[in-house]
Amino acid sequence: MTLLAYIGDAFWIIALAWMAGAARDASRKLEADVKFPLLYRKGQPVQRTSKGWALSAYPMMALGFSLILMVESRRPDLSVNGAWLLFGARMAAAPLALRLHRVWLNGAMDMLKAEGAVKS
């Protein structure tokens, strides 16, 4: 079942790389001193923080979650059925985490664009 673990790792590596690339692109479009909306509700920022911290927070949480799933998928006492279930969970969680990141990032960038904080 090691092959399933490696395939799951590959999906998470691709998703995390995509998140990091999107965060880097967003960072390049913003002024250096902008306060990025970390949390927002109904189009209004609830909490703001520095650009670097905000853009790295979600990919770091996703990395932590992926590491937990990676460790669980390599347990020596894992049954065949358990390996398949974990594989399915990993295959579903990676694109879901990527999609959630994109929705959050696009919403925050739209908010900053409306405020005039995005470079043209």
Assess if residue 68 is contained within a domain.
yes
Secondary structure E strands in 25-104? 35-41, 44-50
Residue 31 to residue 51: CA distance in whole angstroms = 9
Assess if residue 60 is contained within a domain.
yes
**SS3 category, 41:** strand
Domains in the chain, number: 1
Query: What does the pLDDT look like over 61-112, one tens digit per residue?
Result: 999 999 999 999 898 898 999 999 999 999 999 999 999 999 999 999 999 9
8: domain range? Answer: 2-115
Task: Tell me: pLDDT of 41 over 90.
Answer: no
Longest dimension (CA), the chain: 55
Assess if residue 13 is contained within a domain.
yes
Q: What is the pLDDT confidence band of residue 115, given thresholds at 50, 70 and 90?
A: confident
Residue 80 to residue 86: CA distance in whole angstroms = 10
Assess if residue 79 is contained within a domain.
yes
Assess if residue 109 is contained within a domain.
yes
Q: What is the pLDDT confidence band of residue 1, given thresholds at 50, 70 and 90?
A: low
Secondary structure E strands in 5-89? 35-41, 44-50
Alpha carbon separation from 23 to 17, 30, 31, 56, 104 (Å, rounded):
10, 11, 14, 7, 11
Q: What pTM was estimated for this model as a whole?
A: 0.88
Assess if residue 120 is contained within a domain.
no
Which position has the token pair 């880097």? 24
